[in-house]
Amino acid sequence: MIYETLTIDTREKIAYITLNRPERLNSFDMKLGEELYQVLQDISKDKDVRAVVIKGTGMGFCGGGDVKEMYVAEDKSKFLRELTKAIHRCVIEMRTMEKPVIAAVNGYAFGAGLSLALACDIIVAVKDAKLGTAFIGIGLAPGCGTQFFTKLVGYQKACEYILTSKTFTAEKAKELGLVNKVVSSKELDEVVEGYASKFRKLPPIAVGKAKMLINKSMENDMITHLELESKTAALSAGTEDFEEGVTAFVEKRKPVFKGK
Q: Which residues make up the CATH 1.10.12 domain(s) of the chain?
A: 202-250
Query: CATH number for the 202-250 domain, one of 3.40.50, 1.10.12, 3.30.450, 1.10.10?
Result: 1.10.12
| Statement: residue 129 has pLDDT above 90 | yes
Instruction: Report how far residue 201's alpha carbon sits from residue 128's, in angstroms, rounded to the nearest whole number.
Output: 31
Average confidence score pLDDT of the chain: 96
Instruction: Report how far residue 125's alpha carbon sits from residue 156's, in angstroms, rounded to the nearest whole number.
Output: 24
With beta carbons less than 8 A apart as the criterion, state whether 127 and 170 touch: yes
Q: In what order do the strands lie in the sheet with 6-11?
A: 6-11, 14-19, 51-56, 101-105, 122-126, 181-183
- Antiparallel, parallel or unpaired: β 168-169 and 130-132: antiparallel
Count of other CB atoms within 10 angstroms of residue 88: 17
| Statement: residue 1 has pLDDT above 90 | no
Distance linking the first and last C-alpha atoms of the chain = 28
- Antiparallel, parallel or unpaired: β 14-19 and 51-56: parallel
Q: What are the tens digits of pLDDT across the range 150-163?
A: 999 999 999 999 99
| Statement: residue 212 has pLDDT above 90 | yes
Instruction: Report how far residue 10's alpha carbon sits from residue 17's, in angstroms, rounded to the nearest whole number.
Output: 9
Q: What are the tens digits of pLDDT across the range 99-113?
A: 999 999 999 999 999
| Statement: residue 41 has pLDDT above 90 | yes
| Residue 127 pLDDT | 97
Q: Which residues make up the CATH 3.90.226.10 domain(s) of the chain?
A: 6-200
What would the 3-class secondary structure string for the chain be? CCCCCEEEEEECCEEEEEECCHHHCCCECHHHHHHHHHHHHHHHHCCCCCEEEEEECCCEEECCECHHHHHHCCCHHHHHHHHHHHHHHHHHHHHHCCCCEEEEECCEEECHHHHHHHCCCEEEEECCCEEECCHHHHCCCCCCCHHHHHHHHCHHHHHHHHHCCCCEEHHHHHHHCCCCEEECCCCHHHHHHHHHHHHHHCCHHHHHHHHHHHHHHCCCCHHHHHHHHHHHHHHHCCCHHHHHHHHHHHCCCCCCCCCC
| Statement: residue 232 has pLDDT above 90 | yes
| Statement: residue 192 has pLDDT above 90 | yes
With beta carbons less than 8 A apart as the criterion, state whether 28 and 88 touch: no
| Residue 60 pLDDT | 94
Q: What are the tens digits of pLDDT across the range 58-105?
A: 999 999 999 999 999 999 999 999 999 999 999 999 999 999 999 999
Instruction: Report how far residue 29's alpha carbon sits from residue 66's, in angstroms, rounded to the nearest whole number.
Output: 6
| Residue 57 pLDDT | 96
Instruction: Report how far residue 207's alpha carbon sits from residue 219's, in angstroms, rounded to the nearest whole number.
Output: 20
Question: In this structure, which topology does domain 6-200 adopt according to CATH?
Answer: 2-enoyl-CoA Hydratase; Chain A, domain 1 (3.90.226)
